[in-house]
Structure 1
Amino acid sequence: MHMDVIDLRDFYGRPLGRVAQHHIAGRIEEIWPDVRGLNMLGLGFATPYLAPFLGTAQRVIGLMPARQGVMQWPADARCLTGLVDERELPLPDESMDRVLLVHGLEASESMRVLLRQIWRVLAPGGRVMIVVPNRRGLWARREATPFGHGQPFSRSQITQLLRESMFSPSCWEAALFVPPFDWRPLLRSAPAWERAGHMLWPRFSGVIVVEATKQIYAATALPAARKVASRVRAIAPLPAPTPARAVMPMDDE
């Protein structure tokens, strides 16, 4: 089960969604503080987290999977979003420097294919950042939020999946320690929850934020073969044996 684009938009319009956006965006910007001159792609429903990069990145686009639906973004400017098949991203090879995947991997029906597509469009040295629900966290257990849908991950699970897809995890962050309830006094104390969670129970965050780099395996040169003198056997055709003459017995005279 997954949320469509209307459900996701409505969630981020609620106080709880705005709190989640604020704290996740803070972690994203800590990992990527400078994207000047870079091409940046948002996959899934990443548009709430792409706005800070519009003024600095060379190019920012958002692609949303067909089963989720698409909405115009930004609302007051030229549309930078499109509807795609996550198994065939309509982008040239090595065309993106950064890929941000939010509300995408946990709902994907072809996780490894999606990650291979991200690997294909990333430039050498490119990086992907993925935000996924934490299997140990409270947010993955509450379906009133998008993080309660799809498959949650542990840190070891996402590490294995990334390595199988030729990515190397390079940075880890955690966010959303505040309980996922629309209770205003609770939401006002969200900064205190975040500080306490990072110090006391970092493994129980609502989401895991992981950055990974694209691995490029260089071909290993084979050792030069030693020149060993060898005799080549030639097969020469032999003449066919002459058939023996048949000797006819002679009658007695």
Structure 2
Amino acid sequence: MWHDVVDLREFYETRRGQVARHMVRRAVRSLWPDVSGQSVLGLGFATPYLRQFKGEAERTLAFMPSSQGVMHWPPEGPGLVSLVEETELPLPDYSVDRVLLVHGLENSESLRGLLREIWRVLTGDGRLLVVVPNRRGIWARSDRTPLGWGHPYSGAQLSRVLRDNLFIPARTERALYVPPIANFTFLRSAPAWERMGARFFPTFAGVVMIESGKQLYAGTMTPAKQRKFRRPVVVSFPQAAGRLHRDLSDES
């Protein structure tokens, strides 16, 4: 079940949400240090993490599923957000270089359909970066944040889901070690929590993210739009009919 867009926006306006955005955004940037000349699509509620790519990428778009709702982004200038169906992205095949999926996989009502649509719109060497709540982390156990809703994943579970849907996991990153406590002292110490967590207890991060590429097969068609083709049937001409045709030709 998708989280409501109003609740997501309000969370990121709080101090706790701002800290979460900063820590996760830094981890996303470490995986994608340069997107110059590429098209970047944010799917789910990815706008808090897209601004860092807006002036660098050739094109930046954001899609929000209809079950979640939509909000204008960016605040300044023309809107770059579209309301879509999660299993019918309004993009041609092989048209996007990078897809950032945030607050999406854990809430999707059609997980396989969503991933197959992402597979379809990605270019052959495109990259998908999925950010999900870590099932072993503290954030997934608190329903006061969006990370406490939906289905959390461990790194191994997320990797399996991606492999089952024609993606090849390449790199894994974790972030958000500070506890989800709305306490100013805790939030101010978030950078220290990040350093200690990454070094001593990485399995307890708030989110786990995996970057993956497309799994390609020779002759494989787009998974979401595969068609069934029938082999042509060769019917031999009846011999009796052939003899009759020759006899009629001789008489004429």
Q: TM-score, normalised to structure 1's length?
A: 0.86
For 1:113, give the aligned amino acid. Answer: G
Equivalent position SS for 1:69:
coil
Q: Counterpart of 2:192?
A: 192
Q: Counterpart of 2:171?
A: 171
1:15-61 CA-partner distances (Å, limit 9, x unpaired): 00000000000011111011011011000000000001111100000
Q: Counterpart of 2:147?
A: 147
Equivalent position SS for 1:191:
helix
For 2:83, give the aligned amino acid. Answer: L
Give the Cα separation in 1 of the matches to 2:2 and 2:147: 10
Q: Counterpart of 1:130?
A: 130
Q: Counterpart of 2:59?
A: 59
Work out whether residues 2 and 104 of structure 2, in 8 Å CA contact, stay in contact via their aligned partners in 1: no
Q: Counterpart of 2:93?
A: 93
Counting aligned pairs with the same residue, the percent is 55
Equivalent position SS for 1:62:
strand
| Offset, 1:218 | 1.9
Equivalent position SS for 1:50:
helix
Give the Cα separation in 1 of the matches to 2:190 and 2:39: 33
Work out whether residues 155 and 208 of structure 2, in 8 Å CA contact, stay in contact via their aligned partners in 1: yes
| Offset, 1:219 | 4.4
For 2:214, give the aligned amino acid. Answer: K
Q: Counterpart of 1:44?
A: 44
Q: Counterpart of 1:247?
A: none
For 1:87, give the aligned amino acid. Answer: T
Say which structure is richer in helix.
Answer: 2
Query: Unpaired segments of 5 or more residues in structure 1?
Result: 221-235, 238-253
Give the Cα separation in 1 of the matches to 2:2 and 2:192: 31
Give the Cα separation in 1 of the matches to 2:19 and 2:2: 21
For 2:132, give the aligned amino acid. Answer: V
Give the Cα separation in 2 of the matches to 1:130 and 1:219: 27
For 1:217, give the aligned amino acid. Answer: Y
Q: Counterpart of 2:108?
A: 108
Measured on the aligned residues, the alpha-carbon RMSD in Å equals: 1.5
Q: TM-score, normalised to structure 2's length?
A: 0.86
Give yes or no for the alignment of 1:162 onto 2:162: yes
Give the Cα separation in 1 of the matches to 2:155 and 2:76: 38
Aligned pair count?
223
Give yes or no for the alignment of 1:9 onto 2:3: no
Work out whether residues 2 and 108 of structure 2, in 8 Å CA contact, stay in contact via their aligned partners in 1: no
| Offset, 1:3 | 2.2
Give yes or no for the alignment of 1:181 onto 2:198: no
Equivalent position SS for 2:115:
helix
Equivalent position SS for 1:208:
strand
For 2:113, give the aligned amino acid. Answer: V
Give the Cα separation in 1 of the matches to 2:123 and 2:157: 25
| Offset, 1:144 | 0.6
For 1:30, give the aligned amino acid. Answer: S
| Offset, 1:158 | 0.8
Query: Unpaired segments of 5 or more residues in structure 2?
Result: 221-238, 241-252
Equivalent position SS for 2:123:
strand
